[in-house]
């Protein structure tokens, strides 16, 4: 037989496109349309419905960037359509390839009841099935003219990302506003042919099944009268019945489809638009649940649920009913789908506390899975946090985006820094926006790496990023492949059901130890420095506010600000979303974030000040309040007292030019270029800076990645570098114990102050950059005289080791990595720490010196600033301030201590009395990360701590108040079976390396 596959397949494509799909709506009449353009920001629903619209015609332009237009559509169903299904087709000017990325709408009835959302893949509203004929139709559409930021020529700079710069040019053309007859038989035929055509294309050319499908399709096409598709669709469908009813092989891959609409809480749209995106999507999904009895939808991010509850109570009522029916499923148990690399220990814990508590309070539902399909890699401390929140599972998809190495598993146990393991699944469909295409399903089956041991995978199904969710077409396609030969089997299931099946069939999965590093989007550790600084500062201010408010509440009856702290935590957690904190959102988002962080700081400073004044009382003594978890200057951790007097710092001339700083512990030589050529540890008699090299070296690279400008830095950026050694000024600081350096480059200027503090073994480097570069990457380099094969970088509740070499492609791919407060490198007996107050990105390289001592130079470079132009064309322009410290002779304990200290500077308050700590611990390896009152208002004191040095620890916690009882709890402050050992006000604990513990202490 001749091979006519191409002929039949081409025929199928054309007939579908030009004859069958258009016949889904065989008759239509235009609706009358009027519009009112809201001035400024979106208006309440009542105001939009009541506004008097003006005339507009199909074909007219509408919608200034970020505007809201209220369309009113009216019409009458023709009498002759009686008994038929009628829908309104409402095309605002959609591009079907951009669901979630352009204009959208929410349809209301005249009484304000929401009907459903409109987007490029969901343009219909059911009027009646069947209609009686003669019905009056009146609908209102709240239409958002969100501009297209990520266009067909992506990553080009655009000013559309902020309403202040976007202009007023209409963005869209009103395309269709009709009433139309919906022919369900033709619609079903379209889906029959799409499913079979897509399946056929994925089967081997010599497979019997492929040819059977081809011939069935050919017979169906022969049955269609192209001049009467509607009259012949039923007989065409009949010729496909047999081929659609052949069951799948028992060995077929099994897919659990979960209705999904990944909605970025902010990205190429501002937070206020996400509130409306969530309303549109949930309106659609609750409607689809009513129409499709097998369909199940899952939504994560408690913040988005809270937005629906607050802003769209009518939709919320439908959501609650669907949740009660088990069809609309809370997923993930986090406040938002946050970045997981950069949030600090407590913040990462609170993501789960606030997320899980919302779902428990609203629905009595507790999630067992973390749901993070789109997060840019996962820190090695996360498994313990997930487990401590009461969950045991994780789902993500993003690791499939890695550029260099293919991850070896799809289902596995992920082991964190403390040994905690989490059952983890990466959907092999390789998308969190599955649309039930045959190519997607076939890819999932082929790609699944656990064949022979497991058979199940999950497919998040629905349009996402900008929302939209699952469509009726996706549900119909899933029904056809529920049990179809040649395809994986598909069933709608909750995440919980999937994980139960996956764990049951794969009881001994492989183990992956350490971070889940995404070999892409590495520049998100640096982009939008002010957003990152705001996050870091807010995290530490929240620690201070809780600590001092709890101490004051116990000691003085100070009113603990439960509601204020809860609200502020949720604000900070929201801004940790994985396109806000990483710096990958439009200008509007980061402008708002900066303003938010300023408000947060002011409010928290107010709480801290009030609590400290209540503790100190009225008086004239100068008291130092120490919020850090280690004592300093003679003041205990969590206490306040008078500061010790220590040996002064000296500044002298350097004979070769420059200055010398000394405090009896360190001797720092700064040459005439403002570079640190010597950092000598006097006690160890050891030099820190590599021979012939200089630290505090600013380096500038070109930075134009191949794509994803704000997200990516490609390895080739290192091929060209400019060392910034020209100097404008070198002088002694006004305090007489520091050195001030100023230099200019390009259109920018840097001022640095290098200083030593009395009695402290650290060189402080305060850097101010007035940054006006474009597509450049600024680094601060420290070449160290150290032979280290690995280094430690802080992560949540501990630290993680990475190699300094690049033996393998996995190691080479980690050319930019994340740390929190410190990086530490050592040789046996001596090491160096570099600590920071607000940066995350860094790189570490090593080289062997070819002359002299042939020793090893290990260079640490912290990433300061970038200047990508997409999606924010003015990313990071302006003044920035950073603080770093070089700590020679540091062990890991010193790195931990100095990292906390630089982020929690002491506060000085004038008062009458010293303040004893509320809780103390007698082992520096045990670090207290939170002291607070219990969230339930009981007055119990909650203390969270962890082992921070990477070894076993025994410690005694002593309280500064009478204790009635103590319980170990999970992160949500619920009791665990273990009862700690207590004697009076002393609690003895024994911890594994990096173990996290939460204690709840009842007061007498």
CA dist., res. 380 & res. 798, Å (int): 9
* The pLDDT of residue 917 is above 70: yes
Average pLDDT over residues 804-817: 98
Per-residue model confidence as pLDDT tens digits over 166-178: 999 999 999 999 9
* pLDDT confidence bin for 864, thresholds 50/70/90: very high
Beta bridge partners of 723: 699
Query: Are 214 and 8 within 8 A, CB to CB?
Result: yes
* The pLDDT of residue 897 is above 70: yes
Which residues are within 8 A (CB) of 108 and not within 5 positions of it... i.e. 6 or more apart?
Answer: 45, 49, 114, 115, 139, 140, 141, 142
pLDDT of residue 23: 98
pLDDT of residue 851: 84
* The pLDDT of residue 504 is above 90: yes
CA dist., res. 286 & res. 472, Å (int): 12
pLDDT of residue 648: 86
The alpha carbon torsion through 239, 244, 247, 249 (nearest 10 deg) reads 110
Does residue 18 come out as left (phi exceeding 0), alpha (psi in the -120 to 50 range) or beta? alpha
CA dist., res. 487 & res. 248, Å (int): 7
CA dist., res. 832 & res. 353, Å (int): 36
CA dist., res. 975 & res. 981, Å (int): 15
Q: Which of 216, 188, 187 is nearest to 200 (CA)?
A: 216
CA dist., res. 335 & res. 353, Å (int): 8
DSSP string for 595-609: HHHHHHHHHHHHHHH
- The tokens describing 778, both together, are 């600024």
CA dist., res. 528 & res. 863, Å (int): 12
- The enclosing H or E element of 117 equals strand 114-118
Does residue 344 come out as left (phi exceeding 0), alpha (psi in the -120 to 50 range) or beta? beta
pLDDT of residue 647: 75
Average pLDDT over residues 480-494: 98
Which residues are within 8 A (CB) of 135 and not within 5 positions of it... i.e. 6 or more apart?
Answer: 76, 77, 127, 128
Q: How far is CA 575 from the centre of its chain?
A: 9
CA dist., res. 557 & res. 614, Å (int): 9
- The enclosing H or E element of 730 equals strand 729-732
Per-residue model confidence as pLDDT tens digits over 707-716: 999 999 999 9
Per-residue model confidence as pLDDT tens digits over 689-741: 999 999 999 999 999 999 999 999 999 999 999 999 999 999 999 888 899 99
pLDDT of residue 852: 78
Per-residue model confidence as pLDDT tens digits over 600-643: 999 999 999 999 999 999 999 999 999 999 999 999 999 999 98
Which DSSP category does 149 fall into? S
* pLDDT confidence bin for 846, thresholds 50/70/90: very high
Per-residue model confidence as pLDDT tens digits over 252-282: 999 999 999 999 999 999 999 999 999 999 9
The alpha carbon torsion through 818, 821, 826, 831 (nearest 10 deg) reads 150
3-state SS of 774-839 is CCEEEEEEEEECCCCCEEEEEECCEEEEEECCCCCHHHHCCCCEECCCEEEEEECCEEEEEEECCC
Does residue 63 come out as left (phi exceeding 0), alpha (psi in the -120 to 50 range) or beta? left
Average pLDDT over residues 92-106: 97
Query: Are 869 and 775 within 8 A, CB to CB?
Result: yes
* The pLDDT of residue 348 is above 70: yes
User: What share of the chain in percent tops pLDDT 70?
Assistant: 100
* The pLDDT of residue 1 is above 70: no
Per-residue model confidence as pLDDT tens digits over 544-586: 999 999 999 999 999 999 999 999 999 999 999 999 999 999 9
Beta bridge partners of 516: 378
pLDDT of residue 646: 73
CA dist., res. 470 & res. 281, Å (int): 9
CA dist., res. 623 & res. 611, Å (int): 14
CA dist., res. 185 & res. 234, Å (int): 6
> Mean pLDDT, the chain, as a whole number?
97
Average pLDDT over residues 796-802: 98
CA dist., res. 393 & res. 376, Å (int): 18
CA dist., res. 978 & res. 393, Å (int): 23
Active site residue: 91, 192, 374, 872, which one? Answer: 374
The pair phi, psi for residue 602, each rounded to 5°, is -65, -45
Q: How far is CA 690 from CA 655, 672, 679, 683, 896, in A?
A: 20, 18, 10, 18, 24
**Mutual angle of helices 271-291 and 472-480, in 10-degree steps:** 50
Cis ω on the peptide bond leading into residue 579 (within 30° of 0)? Answer: no
Which residues are within 8 A (CB) of 142 and not within 5 positions of it... i.e. 6 or more apart?
Answer: 42, 45, 48, 68, 70, 105, 106, 108, 276
Per-residue model confidence as pLDDT tens digits over 951-985: 999 999 999 999 999 999 999 999 999 889 999 99
Q: Which of 13, 7, 876, 764 is nearest to 526 (CA)?
A: 876
3-state secondary structure at position 79: helix
Query: Are 284 and 291 within 8 A, CB to CB?
Result: no
Q: Which of 255, 662, 673, 644 is nearest to 434 (CA)?
A: 255
The pair phi, psi for residue 616, each rounded to 5°, is -75, -30
Which residues are within 8 A (CB) of 12 and not within 5 positions of it... i.e. 6 or more apart?
Answer: 193, 197, 217, 221
Average pLDDT over residues 454-483: 97
CA dist., res. 896 & res. 884, Å (int): 14
Q: Which of 176, 231, 215 is nearest to 29 (CA)?
A: 176
Average pLDDT over residues 668-696: 98
Let me know if 4 is a catalytic residue. Answer: no
* pLDDT confidence bin for 496, thresholds 50/70/90: very high
- Exposure of 944 in the CB half-sphere (CA atoms within 13 A): 23
Beta bridge partners of 766: 753, 883
Q: Which of 760, 744, 907, 782 is nearest to 752 (CA)?
A: 744
* The pLDDT of residue 344 is above 90: yes
């Amino acid at each position: 037989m001749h091979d006519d596959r191409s002929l039949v397949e081409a025929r199928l494509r054309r007939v579908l496109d030009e004859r069958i799909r258009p016949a889904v709506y065989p008759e239509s009449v235009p609706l009358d349309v009027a519009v009112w353009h809201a001035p400024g920001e979106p208006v309440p629903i009542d105001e939009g419905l009541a506004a008097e619209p003006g005339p507009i015609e199909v074909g007219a332009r509408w919608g200034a960037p970020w505007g809201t237009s209220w369309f009113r559509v009216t019409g009458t169903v023709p009498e002759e359509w009686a008994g038929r299904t009628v829908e309104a087709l409402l095309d605002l000017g959609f591009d079907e390839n951009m669901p979630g990325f352009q204009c959208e709408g929410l349809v209301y009835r005249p009484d304000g009841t929401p009907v459903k959302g409109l987007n490029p893949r969901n343009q219909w509203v059911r009027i009646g099935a069947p209609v009686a004929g003669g019905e009056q139709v009146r609908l209102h559409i709240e239409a958002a003219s969100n501009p297209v930021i990520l266009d067909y020529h992506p990553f080009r700079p655009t000013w559309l990302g902020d309403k202040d710069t976007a202009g007023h040019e209409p963005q869209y053309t009103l395309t269709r506003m009709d009433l139309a007859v919906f022919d369900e038989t033709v619609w079903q035929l379209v889906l029959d042919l799409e499913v079979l055509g897509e399946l056929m294309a994925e089967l081997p050319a010599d497979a019997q099944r492929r040819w059977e499908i081809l011939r069935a399709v050919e017979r169906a096409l022969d049955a269609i009268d192209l001049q009467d598709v509607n009259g012949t669709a039923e007989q065409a469908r009949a010729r496909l019945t047999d081929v659609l009813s052949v069951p799948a092989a028992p060995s077929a891959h099994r897919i659990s489809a979960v209705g999904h609409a990944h909605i970025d809480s902010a990205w190429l749209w501002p937070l206020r638009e996400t509130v409306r995106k969530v309303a549109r999507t949930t309106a659609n999904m609750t409607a689809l649940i009513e129409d499709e009895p097998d369909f199940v939808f899952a939504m994560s991010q408690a913040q988005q649920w809270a937005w629906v509850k607050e802003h769209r109570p009518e939709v919320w009522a439908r959501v609650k009913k669907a949740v009660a029916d088990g069809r609309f499923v809370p997923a993930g148990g986090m406040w938002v789908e946050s970045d997981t690399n950069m949030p600090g220990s407590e913040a990462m814990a609170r993501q789960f506390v606030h997320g899980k508590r919302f779902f428990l309070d609203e629905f009595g539902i507790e999630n067992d899975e973390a749901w993070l399909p789109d997060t840019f890699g996962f820190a090695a401390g996360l498994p313990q946090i997930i487990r401590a929140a009461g969950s045991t599972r994780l789902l993500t998809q993003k690791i499939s985006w890695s550029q260099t190495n293919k991850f070896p598993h799809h289902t596995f146990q992920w082991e964190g820094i403390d040994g905690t393991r989490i059952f983890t699944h990466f959907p092999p469909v390789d998308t969190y926006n599955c649309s039930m295409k045959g190519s997607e399903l076939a890819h999932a089956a082929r790609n699944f790496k656990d064949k022979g041991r497991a058979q199940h995978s999950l497919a998040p199904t629905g349009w996402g990023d900008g929302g939209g969710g699952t469509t009726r077409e996706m549900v119909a396609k899933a029904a056809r492949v529920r049990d179809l030969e040649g395809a994986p089997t598909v069933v709608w299931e909750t995440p919980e059901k999937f994980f139960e099946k996956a764990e049951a069939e794969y009881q001994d999965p492989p183990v992956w130890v350490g971070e889940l590093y995404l070999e892409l989007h590495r520049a998100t550790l640096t982009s939008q420095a002010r957003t990152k600084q705001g996050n870091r500062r807010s995290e530490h201010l929240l620690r201070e506010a809780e600590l001092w408010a709890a101490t004051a509440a116990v000691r003085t009856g100070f009113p603990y600000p439960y509601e204020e702290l809860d609200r502020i935590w949720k604000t900070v957690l929201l801004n940790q979303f994985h396109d806000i904190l990483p710096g990958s959102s439009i200008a509007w988002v980061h402008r708002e974030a900066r303003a938010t962080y300023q408000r947060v700081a002011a409010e928290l400073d107010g709480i801290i000040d009030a609590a400290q004044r209540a503790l100190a009382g009225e008086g004239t003594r100068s008291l130092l309040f120490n919020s850090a978890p280690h004592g300093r200057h003679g003041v205990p951790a969590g206490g306040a007292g008078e500061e010790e007097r220590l040996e002064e710092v000296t500044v002298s001339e350097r004979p070769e030019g420059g200055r010398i700083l000394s405090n009896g512990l360190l001797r720092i030589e700064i040459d005439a270029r403002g570079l640190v050529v010597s950092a000598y540890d006097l006690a160890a008699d050891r030099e820190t800076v590599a021979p012939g090299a200089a630290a505090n070296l600013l380096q500038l690279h070109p930075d134009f990645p191949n794509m994803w400008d704000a997200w990516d830095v490609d390895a080739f950026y290192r091929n060209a570098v400019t060392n910034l050694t020209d100097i404008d000024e070198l002088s002694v600081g006004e305090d007489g114990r520091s050195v001030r350096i100023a230099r200019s480059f390009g259109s920018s200027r840097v001022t640095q102050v290098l200083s030593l503090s009395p009695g402290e073994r650290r060189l402080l480097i305060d850097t101010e950059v007035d940054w006006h570069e474009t597509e450049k990457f600024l680094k601060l380099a420290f070449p160290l005289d150290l032979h280290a094969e690995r280094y430690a970088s802080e992560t949540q509740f501990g630290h993680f080791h990475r190699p300094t070499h690049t033996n393998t492609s996995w190691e080479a791919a980690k050319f930019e990595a994340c740390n929190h407060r410190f990086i530490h490198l050592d040789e046996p007996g001596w090491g160096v720490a570099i600590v920071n107050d607000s940066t995350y990105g860094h790189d570490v390289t090593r080289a062997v010196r070819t002359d002299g001592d042939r020793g090893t130079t290990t260079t640490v470079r912290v990433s300061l600033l970038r200047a990508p132009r997409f999606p924010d064309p003015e990313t990071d322009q302006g003044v920035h301030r950073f603080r770093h410290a070089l700590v020679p002779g540091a062990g890991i304990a010193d790195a931990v201590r100095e990292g906390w200290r630089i982020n929690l500077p002491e506060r000085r308050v004038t008062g009458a009395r010293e303040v004893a700590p509320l809780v103390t611990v007698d082992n520096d390896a045990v670090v207290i990360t939170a002291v607070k009152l219990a969230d339930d208002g009981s007055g119990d004191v909650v203390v969270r701590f962890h082992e921070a040095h990477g070894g076993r620890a025994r410690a005694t916690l002593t309280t500064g108040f009478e204790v009635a009882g103590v319980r170990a709890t999970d992160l949500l402050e619920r009791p665990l079976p273990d009862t700690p050992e207590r004697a009076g006000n002393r609690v003895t604990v024994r911890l594994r390396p990096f173990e996290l513990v939460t204690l709840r202490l009842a007061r007498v």
